[in-house]
Amino acid sequence: MEKTEEMVEEKKGVEGEVPFRMLSSSKGRKKPTVDMNQVVGTRDILFICLDTLRYDGAVHEQEAGGTPVLNQYGPWEKRQAPGNFTYPSHHAMFAGFLPCAYEAKNLTDRELLFFPKQIGMGGRGPEGSFGFSGSTIMEGLEKEGYDTWCVGGVAFFDKRSDLGKVFPGYFKKSYWNPSFGCGVKDSAGNQVDFLLKKIEKADRDQRIFLYLNIDAIHYPNYFYLEGAKKDSMESHRAALRYVDKELGRLFEGWKETRGGAFVICCSDHGTCYGEDGCQFHGINHPAVNTIPYKHFFL
């Protein structure tokens, strides 16, 4: 019996590592758009999740000029959501598996900014990726001297339940209060106000990794569209326009107070407003599984 268990474990190890070895090969791989080894340790890193933002809604506002702040930093990329609702998506992203290219056919089509060294490959990550030790990006960056912050939005970050404490527990410092919640029309503005005060008091020689969960686009969002009584794609886009203005304040304040930063900005999943009879998210539908992504330097 013992011999059988050992053989099973050995087989698992071989099968688990072989696909990831493909990532270290340069053959057929696109050149990375950024070398994270040049970023980590030299700049603050902001990971901003526009919770529930759909790709089509983001592109509509991009082309209509409704998001002038985000438009400054390049067009949205079409990507695959790591999960169909907040919880699975964030477990993947916090482990380094950010949304991958929509056209990706295999592992080598994925640009990894962060690579969990313990996953295999003898600790070697693909070109441009930062290999981290630990179970999350945050744990790896803390070992590099970063102070890790979480400013929550949706209930998975509110610390009011055992489930709501899981993600905040991955950070050295985590913050949430009811004014950041989904049902508050000024939630994004309240989050930005809070952060601008926090960075004023922060040690400027201490590098920060900030995760910000913006939930204004998550339902309910009807109150961003004048006269609306229920959520719709129109109110979804109106919420994005509101968020864009608040991000402008955050970016300007961060530059003035702390200098430049590297920003990852994306959605975790989309949502449905009646397409094919589907509502909300937590289901697999193109409107849920297709999301916008971009990264850039302030």
Peptide bond into 168 cis (omega under 30): no
Q: By percentage, how much of the chain surpasses pLDDT 70?
A: 88
Torsion of CA 189, 254, 173, 87, to 10 degrees: 60
Cα(224)–Cα(242) distance, integer angstroms: 8
pLDDT at 14 over 60: no
The set of residues, in sequence order, having a beta carbon less than 8 Å from that of 250 and lying 6+ positions away, is 192, 195, 196, 212
Q: Report the domain count for the chain.
A: 1
39 confidence band (pLDDT: 50, 70, 90): very high
Structure tokens that stand for 218 in this block:
């998550």
Please give the residue that has the higher pLDDT: either 1 or 234: 234
pLDDT digits (tens, 9 = 90+) for 98-151: 999 888 887 777 888 999 988 765 556 778 899 999 999 999 999 999 999 999
| Domain limits for position 280 | 2-297
Torsion of CA 247, 253, 258, 262, to 10 degrees: 20
Cα(135)–Cα(140) distance, integer angstroms: 8
Query: Helix, strand, or coil here: 205?
Result: coil
Which of the listed ranges 7-16, 209-218, 276-285 does the model predict with the highest average pLDDT?
209-218
| Other residues' Cβ atoms within 10 Å of the Cβ of residue 12 | 10
Cα(286)–Cα(271) distance, integer angstroms: 9
Please give the residue that has the higher pLDDT: either 15 or 269: 269
- 147-151 and 114-116: which strand pairing? unpaired
pLDDT at 10 over 50: no
Mean pLDDT of 154-183: 95
pLDDT score of 119: 75
User: Sign of the CA dihedral 232, 234, 238, 243?
Assistant: positive
CATH number for the domain spanning 7: value is: 3.40.720.10
pLDDT score of 2: 41
264 confidence band (pLDDT: 50, 70, 90): very high
